A and B are shown apart, each in its own frame.
Chain A
């Protein structure tokens, strides 16, 4: 399953306005299967070795924004400000792994004329519920575009 299969894309629908983000709002559960093809394509895309027996754990980055965008579609022109990941479990590269992602809005704030959204995501194995990774992302979306949409 590719990220584009589960991710609303910029420009498809009206971007979420800053005032529409609700702090501590849970994000809908997202289930996806990480495939050997995506693991390999990710490695190639960041100049890494595509033939390792395990996935580079940051492959989950390509699914991260989808967790937010499925409830809060993005305005065009978004810029990432900060990101955190902690990895807990090895992902094999040769077999698919079914993953369940959950998240919530953690904060929203304004700084130097920009409006920031911060949200967290937890990735777990669908098979046994074990923790795979956690992430916290902070991004900003253009004020004028969101207001004009």
Chain B
């Protein structure tokens, strides 16, 4: 199962307001470029949030009580780009943007006790 998400600075800002996050790497383009990035960075947990919603669609309400998600953030996620969040039948999880995979891991159900 997969969905495509368009990242925007407005979405990054909105998540930051909720998250209580004031880290300038998400908002200050000059600072982000000084750190070697092409743009401001999306919040990692925002991108992981997309994957959680895809997992809910894939596994149904079992995800609420047996869900297990494990990710590594392997490349930056920038505004004004599209990212495809995909969970394969075996639980392999990726978020892939214009430069390749940005987040990789697994989204699976724990066994029933």
Contacts and interface: CB of A to CB of B under 8 A. Distances in A.
A83 B20 contact: no
Query: What bracket does the count of chain B residues touching chain A fall in?
Result: 35 or more
Question: Per DSSP, are chain B's interface residues mostly helix, strand or loop, or mixed?
Answer: helix
B25 A56 contact: no
Nearest to A78: B23
Contacts, number: 131
A79 interface: yes
Interface string B41-53: 1011110111011
Contacts of A2: 18, 20
Contacts of B46: 45-46
B112 to A, nearest CB: 12
Interface in B32-79: 35, 41, 43-46, 48-50, 52-53, 56, 61, 63-73
A61 B48 contact: yes
Interface residues of A, number: 45
B25 A79 contact: yes
Contacts of B67: 57, 85-87
A86 B70 CA distance: 9
Contacts of B50: 46-47
A82 B18 CA distance: 21
Given A61-B45, A74-B23, A77-B31, A87 B66 contact: yes
Interface of A: 2-7, 9-12, 38, 41-42, 44-48, 54, 56-58, 61-62, 64-66, 74, 76-91, 142
Q: Which 6 A-B pairs have the closest CB atoms?
A: A4-B20, A80-B44, A46-B49, A58-B52, A3-B20, A61-B45
